[in-house]
Chains A and B, each alone.
Chain A
Amino acid sequence: MSGRFRRAWRSLLRREDVERAVDEELAFHREMVTRELMDQEGLSEEEARAEAERRFGELWSYEQECLRIGERRRKRRRRLLWARDLRSDLRFALRSLKRRPLILGVAVLSLAVGIGVTVTVFALGNTFLFRPAGYLEEPREIVTIYAETSTEQPHGPVSFPDYRDIAAQVDALESVAVMGLDAVRGGERLGGRSLLAEVVTGNYFQVTGIRPVIGRAFQPDETPPGSAVPVALLSHRLWKEQFGGQTSVLGSEIRLNGVPITVIGVCPPGITSRMVPVRVDLWMPLGIPGAGTRRVLSELDQRGDRQYQVIGRLAEGADIRDVQAQTDVLAARLASGHPELWQIGEGQPRGFRVVSEEDSRVNPDARTGLAGLSALLLGFTGLVLLIACFNVAGVFLARAGGRRREIALRRSLGASRGRVVRLLLVESLVPGLLSGALGTLLALGLTRLLSSLTLEFGVPLQMDLSVDGRVLLFAVVLSTAVSMLFGLAPALEGARISLVPAIRGLSGDESGRPTRVRRVLIALQVTGATLFLAATGLFLRSSLEAGDADLGFDPSGLAVVSHSMSHLQAEGGDVRRLVRDRLAELRSRGDLEGAAAAVGVELTTTFMVRSGNTEVADAGRPEADRWRALHNAVTGEYMETMGFRLLRGRTLKASDREGTRPVAVVNETFAARMWPGADPVGRDFQVWYGRDPEHTYEEDHRTLTVVGVVGDGKYLAIGEDRRSVFWTSFYQDPADHVTFVARGRDSAAQAAGILGRVVEIPRGELSLVPPSTMEAALSRQFVYLRMSSRILGACGIFALVLTLIGIYGLVSYTAALGRKEIAVRQALGAGPGQVLRWVVRSGIRVTASGLAVGIVLALLLGQAVRSLLYGTRPLDPLVMGGSSVLVLVAALTAALAPALRATRTDPMSVLRDE
């Protein structure tokens, strides 16, 4: 395009210009006609003007049409120009970034890490909170029905009889299915793996609309609950992994818990359980006899046994409110028919909660917590990302500073302020999008890693994370926003450069100090780094302290193994005898100092089995309030084997057996609360086991006599406050879950070995803790502390590195800006020491202010997470001092290199140059 033409083009970019041009052109025409009429026909000016207008026709409509055309052209021109400028900006940006690959590399890498982690966290939240279950048919018609467990947990599981009532009485539902989860052990063909099975009623596939990819779903006659035919469908993943995706798997026999079962189909991929968001390995009908999955008819019939989830499909014309109304009626009926089971709290009837499919992908009670957790994680990773942004903004700001001359030249050649801003934004968009792409790749890797992680809870639980369209969109929006964020500050600063001094080669800021924006950015980075380091320190110290905590028992030399015995109980076996036999065998071994059994062992996952809703009250004062206490049932010698400190009375003995007076041992806190200041030994208290389905006593409470008091310890978590606990005799109070403990004469490993040989886990039973040393079982308690400090530590180191780069950049920039001043000072006789101090000072001042803010924030954070810290004060001086020193030393180091370079400035060459 020629220059003449381009000018014409550009001149019509504004609306007023277009209007003025049309006016002028039409006026010119009428003027000429008027003049011609006056000259040639001798009309007066007035007459001539009237005639000219008549000939011209409808001025208004022609003018409008011209304006319309002009406006259309103007818009198209603007668009074309914009696109062309963008292309040239992009070309220029790529060229100038290519000249500084190091800057680009650092910027892209640090952002990529930030974006990758943030996207991963988003994917996590997305999986649990948003991702639709694509395998369901018409999910809008599907509802989930929960029963209230307590006021805090309104969305709890239901029992099988509840399900039967719903199916029979709620006609707003066309069909209703029930499901439960079971851990099963696969046979040889399944690699001997522990698998997660969903046990369902036969119509599960009709209700959900899940269509097997090969084979078929259950047939109604195969699945009468409790006496089902041994058939199963495999998950897509299991089919691929164990059977290579061969169709020959259909009709073949697999073994689950040793029972032969025929494979009849394979489900589509990606199905997770609706009860917990983990993937399911196979589907079996509810209660195959002998398959050891605890679903024998006598168990299914227990109305107190709430462990199922009900889903239903709405009948035609019905909506979710109809279902809620009908289940309300049912709940009222149940509350009058089974008052002991259908009440929560005093006289408050238990109700059903009907929830849409969309809102029940995750249990609504867990949803809030999950959303909160996701938000917290997103906040943390977002902070890292923000620091990365500040850093890159700093780098780009330094470049914009170094390019003052270029920008001033552009402005003087007619580039508008907006044009310069856009150029700088485009320059930041390139690395922004690049790091977005890299970050997404990183997130893909991370989610794959997370999905392959196995949460060991007896059964391997695996999450099914994936990166879908929503996550990708998030990544794109995030990286664009991020690049705008770090591009904005330099761009605004670039636009502000005033022309004359900059073009003459002087810096706009004569003092040679970096601008305020830049100093604030660096200070913020220092703040972030301090915050992360301090948090890491707190958690690190906390996990060290936790190692020295008084647990109330001595874990060294102890080993545990734990499993359920429901199988045995269901078949009418005697748990007491089995435990006695095993203990006798263990005690006959000379290598053990002691062996005992309990329902659960303190501070392991097993302890939670029994401690749910037990309430106690002083039997001597009928009016006394009930309150909650933790409960464990133990055999004789348990307290000795564990090393409990006996303070008063006696421990529980083998002689506290069935048929004798029910007794209990309590801990200090329990005694102090129940009988403040008095001797508890010999006193009675009452206990209600609440809604624990494993306890079905005839009477609704029992009275226990205290025979001893032991010292306080830790029961559920290392960081917990004091808790009230009481122990009863296992033989007076048996459960279908047993944990054996043994103390080895030489080592815990030796004891674990013996436990493993003697205590054989029955086929099909769930093992909460495989034979392991107490230290290993305990370490789960430390896992979250260790995980937190590891994650925070990684963030802290990342933030520190970013800050180092930032401070290095700041000081280099200061030195570059102040080159002339340094040269003048040197020429006037300043020594290298003075120059050094002068340059370093700028870095240190910024660091100090950032550090101060960081420490304050760290203290606030410490208060917020205090409950997670063990034995560590949020104000821990070692942690706060240590992280401050670390940040300061790092900052000094980063500032020193450019400062040293500045002292080597040759004053003559600089002054000549300017």
Chain B
Amino acid sequence: MPLPEGLLVRNEKVDLVRGTLDMLVLKALVWGPMHGYDVLNWLKRISEGDLGIDEGALYPSLHRMEERGWITAEWGLSENNRRAKFYELTDAGRAQLHEQRDEWGRYTRVVDRILEAAPGGER
């Protein structure tokens, strides 16, 4: 899992780096099987619209994770009775989510420490 190369700010919305999106999608699926549109809605709701992503980027992310075995997919019917592809977290996906979270925590702590450091290197 590569570290995010940097966070970009655009129109006051946080632009996402690819790896981060994977982690957020995994998190969304913790609550149960969802199709892509649901995942997106959940992310929007939780982030209260502060997250700027191309909605389409979600799908390669989902497919890649399916390939890696973190999630599985099955066709089913949506609430309005249309055929939709539902994704479900696997055990490997759950483990992956934990790992990415830990890593994210370490990363932000380091970045925070640096950003809050006093001049001269002493706190």
Contacts and interface: CB of A to CB of B under 8 A. Distances in A.
B101 interface: no
B63 A56 contact: no
Interface stretch (A26-34, A268-276, A531-539, A762-770): A26-34
B63 A69 contact: yes
Contacts of B75: 8, 21
Nearest to B36: A29
Contacts of B84: 25, 28
B82 A28 contact: yes
Interface string B19-63: 000000000000000011100100000000000001111011001
Instruction: Rank and list the top 8 A-B pairs by shortest CB-CB distance, nearest first.
Output: A57-B54, A62-B56, A65-B60, A57-B56, A69-B63, A32-B37, A56-B56, A25-B85
Interface in B70-101: 72-75, 78, 82-85
Contacts of B54: 55-58, 62
A332 to B, nearest CB: 77
B67 interface: yes
B64 interface: yes
Nearest to B83: A24
B90 to A, nearest CB: 12
A72 interface: yes
26 contacts: A5-B72, A8-B73, A8-B75, A22-B59, A25-B36, A25-B84, A25-B85, A28-B36, A28-B37, A28-B84, A29-B36, A29-B55, A29-B59, A32-B37, A55-B54, A57-B54, A59-B56, A62-B54, A62-B59, A65-B59, A65-B63, A66-B59, A66-B60, A69-B63, A69-B64, A73-B66
Interface string A694-725: 00000000000000000000000000000000
Report the interface size class on chain A: 20 to 34
A70 interface: yes
A25 to B, nearest CB: 5
A73 B62 CA distance: 13
B33 to A, nearest CB: 14
Contact of B67 (A21, A24, A33, A73): A73
B63 A66 contact: yes
Contacts of B66: 73
Given A28-B85, A69-B60, 9 more contacts: A4-B74, A21-B75, A29-B55, A56-B54, A57-B56, A57-B57, A62-B56, A66-B63, A69-B63
B41 to A, nearest CB: 9
A24 B57 CA distance: 16
A64 to B, nearest CB: 9
Interface string A21-65: 110111011011100000000000000000000011111001001
Contacts of B73: 8
A881 to B, nearest CB: 74
Nearest to B63: A69
Contacts of A32: 37, 78
- Main SS at interface, chain A: helix
A234 B118 CA distance: 89
B35 A55 contact: no
Contacts of A66: 59-60, 63
Contacts of A73: 66-67
Nearest to B79: A32
Given A28-B82, A29-B36, A57 B55 contact: yes
B59 A25 contact: yes
A21 to B, nearest CB: 7
Nearest to A55: B55
A587 to B, nearest CB: 102
A57 B35 CA distance: 19
B17 to A, nearest CB: 15
A26 B35 CA distance: 11
A8 B74 contact: yes
Contacts of B72: 5
B43 to A, nearest CB: 13
A72 B67 contact: yes
B82 to A, nearest CB: 6
A21 B40 CA distance: 19
Given A8-B74, A21-B85, A33-B37, A26 B56 contact: yes
A65 B62 CA distance: 11
Nearest to A24: B83
Of B35, B63, B72, B75, most buried by chain A (CB within 10 Å of CB) is B63
Contacts of A4: 74
B63 A29 contact: no
A352 B72 CA distance: 78
Of A24, A25, A33, most buried by chain B (CB within 10 Å of CB) is A25
Contact of A33 (B55, B64, B74, B78): B55
Contacts of B78: 28, 32
B50 to A, nearest CB: 15
A58 B82 CA distance: 24
A59 B36 CA distance: 15
A58 B56 contact: yes
Nearest to A70: B63
A70 B55 CA distance: 19
B68 to A, nearest CB: 10
Contacts of B64: 69
B71 to A, nearest CB: 13
Contacts of A55: 54-55
